[in-house]
A = this chain, B = another copy of it.
Amino acid sequence: MASAAVGYARENQSRFLEELKALLRIPSVSTAEEHKDDVRKAANFVAEELKRIGFENVQVIETKGHPLVYGDWLHAEGKPTALCYAHYDVQPAEPLDEWHTPPFEPTERNSNLYARGAVDDKGQLWMEVKAFESLFQTHGGKLPINARVLFEGEEEVGGEAIEEYVKTNPDKLKADFALICDTELFAPDLPTICVGLRGLVYTEIEARGAATDLHSGVYGGAAPNPLFALSTIIAKLKDANGKILIPGFYEGVKKPTAAELKAWHSLPFNEEEYRQKEVGSDVLTGEPKYPVLYRTWARPTLEVHGMPGGFVAQGAKTVIPAKASAKISMRLVPNQDPDDILKKYTEYVTSLTPKGIQLKFKVHSKGAAIVVGTKNKYIKAATHALHEIFHKDTVYTRSGGSIPIVAQFANDLKIPSVMMGFGLPDDNLHAPNEKFHIPNFHRGIESLARFFEILGSEK
């Protein structure tokens, strides 16, 4: 190996980590109107650093929503061009009372860094930035390949701005491949490249009954109850075995290949351990005839995330709410078209509308599933780099999560993505006590630096 860039990264570990903490202190919660300025502050923070380390044409690009951050360095003639993606926005931190230390005060414990966004995705964004700094610093102010970075601030709310930007500016984003740092290792110390993602359709159904909240004693037996109505609808969306009941929902669902299924089967995975350590429930749920990895990676699912409405504080209030909502999402697999699924879902739910209730639909986000091949030279270079840093063979996995931009890079820019992420399965993404295992932050920086060096050294 003997890479000066890796040496530089190792010498600067503690500074890199302190810089990440500063970024994590900015509560860039993209779904919360009150954090709008914080999201911009995080964008500016990242843009300033890109300029400082050597990127050119650095811009905070205005959009209808939160800004994009762009920068490039395109002077490695004859070498490939990377389009490097990550996101600087984070999920809301609620429920706050379940955090052991405050979500926006990054805290080190047991070699982990705890904070909202630690691993999803500010920590992984910062890995990219610091890999580039290490390369600029040790390659005489140059990079071994051409690079564009494009960071978004709306990943957790559907990514509309980047979708629009990629669609309308394909020439400004010309690249040979994309690098996505927003995934995880399959197990600690096991280098992992993600080659498949589920799609997502996230909706909100608002149900309205009476014109105003009513006393349940006086009106119970005459007034429609939107919360009850939503419950009856939800109960008909999925059966007790996890089968989704929307007519035509499974039409065209593409199965994983036999080779993939075989590879998944040989992964170090124990359902009982997963149940106990990761999920912590009595039993696992879902379609019984599919193993857990198949269910969560390659089968579509449907979940309810919240049902605002009525009286949700402590204690009792005898109210029939005038309106209530249900936040419901579906994860999609290859060959399910999000628009088609949304149409089938909307029609089915509408057909279930109880007496006296009016429904309104809102779509929070929508993106297709994607599966990428493992044979291209970018995946091969990434595999090579990971082996150098981890001294182990890479496993190719899928993720049950969704990164809609990957499908768009394939469709609009016609480039493959390398999804190389360094989270761990127990990192509490989207939950209280989110963390990033600090050694993985550093190994991520090193792996990315080597990845670019390897690609740059190829004839």
Contact = CB atoms under 8 A, between A and B. Distances in A.
Q: Which 7 pairs from chain A and chain B are nearest by CB? A: A211-B280, A217-B401, A31-B315, A235-B235, A306-B310, A316-B364, A221-B295
B299 A321 contact: no
B314 A354 contact: no
A279 B218 contact: no
A321 B306 contact: yes
Given A221-B296, A223-B285, A306-B310, 9 more contacts: A33-B314, A215-B431, A217-B402, A222-B284, A224-B281, A235-B235, A282-B355, A305-B321, A307-B307
Given A216-B329, A295-B221, A305 B286 contact: no
Given A94-B313, A313-B92, A319-B431, A218 B281 contact: no
Interface in A37-71: none
Contacts of A331: 216-217, 220-221
Interface of A: 31-33, 91-92, 94-95, 98, 156-158, 198, 200, 202, 204, 209-225, 227-228, 230-232, 234-236, 238, 240, 242, 274, 278-287, 292, 295-296, 299, 301-321, 327, 329, 331, 354-358, 364-365, 399-402, 425, 428-433
A430 B223 CA distance: 15
A219 B311 contact: no
Contact of A305 (B314, B319, B432): B319
A363 to B, nearest CB: 10
Give this chain's copy count. Answer: 2
A222 B31 contact: no
A356 B301 contact: no
A281 B91 contact: no
Contacts of A218: 296, 399-401, 425, 429
Contacts of A301: 216, 220-221
Given A211-B281, A220-B301, A318 B235 contact: no
A154 to B, nearest CB: 11
A446 to B, nearest CB: 26
A413 to B, nearest CB: 23
A312 B321 CA distance: 15
A171 B32 CA distance: 59
B316 A158 contact: yes
Contacts of A310: 304-307, 327
Contact of A280 (B210, B240, B283, B312): B210
Given A280-B212, A281-B224, A402-B217, A312 B307 contact: yes
Contact of A219 (B156, B314, B400): B400
B314 A220 contact: no
